[in-house]
Structure 1
């Protein structure tokens, strides 16, 4: 993944393939914004394997950060992902956006600040995957960080400490 490259997709299968490819190449950090994770495929065995590889090698507390509009689907339909988040709570976390950020409608994954997978709108599968170390994706990262700071902390994956 040395030279900048852009690849378009127009199906949820293409979207998931691009996400998994980015996760496979992620070395340090992954930030992911999605309304509810329904179309990401992270609950699949392949998705869990990619996330587990990232988290098991993590040296940072923020190796995996997931920002959602709603965690209901994750809570009800993703036992593998919930278990993974609990096991790697030291480097993975989930937050839900507050009401003012709920208009944000462009799901994306950014790995190591240079591998971007994005859908143009949350209701459509069409999007693109870009490998580019130039920082052209900084606006999405900034929007993520601003929303992350005001988001509600989720209890998903958080040890109870009882």
Structure 2
């Protein structure tokens, strides 16, 4: 199933659907995760359910400032589930990357073609559609360094 979107509400709806379908892994890349609403109560609840069921979450980002300032629930989640969450910050050489995506279990993906715009697509139950973005994530991850831990804000 494929679904295109071009509004904030539609993007967040598709993202919620991917999170709800995730069982084992979530990998996400975005320059700052501003539009992912990681500090919102409903997102916190969805990610907690995923992590409590044994899921593993990996985030790669350019700048954690938004999450550190505006997402205290996410910082609490990071503290409470440090064993299941890993965040990495990209090096300066990768800061020009502007796409944004979330992949669940190598089966489902929501991607925005440019992080400054809301146009994108969601694809479900299609491992072949996630492969390129997953390889891209793995390359970004390999170049990135640990960059965000609950302790950054004294938690």
Under TM normalisation by the shorter chain, which class is it?
A: over 0.9
SS class of match (2:46): helix
Instruction: Say whether the 8 Å CA contact 1:89–1:158 is kept in structure 2.
Output: no
- Structure 1 position 95, deviation (Å): 0.7
Structure 2 unaligned segments of length 5 or more: list them: none
Q: Which residue of 1 aligns with 2:110?
A: 117
Instruction: Say whether the 8 Å CA contact 2:25–2:105 is kept in structure 1.
Output: yes
Determine which of 84, 87, 102 is the counterpart of 1:94: 87
Q: Which residue of 1 aligns with 2:16?
A: 20
Q: Which residue of 2 aligns with 1:133?
A: 126
TM superposition outliers: structure 1 runs of 4+ over 6 Å: none
SS class of match (2:128): coil
- Structure 1 position 158, deviation (Å): 5.6
- Written as runs of structure 1 = structure 2, the 5 A alignment for 1:1-162 is 5-58=1-54, 63-157=56-150
1:105-137 Cα deviation digits (max 9, x unpaired): 110000000100001111001111001334232
Question: Equivalents in 1 of 2:16, 2:114: separation in Å?
Answer: 19
Instruction: Say whether the 8 Å CA contact 1:107–1:120 is kept in structure 2.
Output: yes
Question: Of Structure 1 and Structure 2, which has the larger fraction of its residues in helix?
Answer: 2
Q: What TM-score do you get using the length of structure 2 for normalisation? A: 0.93
SS class of match (1:39): helix
- Structure 1 position 11, deviation (Å): 0.6
Name the Cα RMSD after superposition.
Answer: 1.4
Q: What TM-score do you get using the length of structure 1 for normalisation? A: 0.89
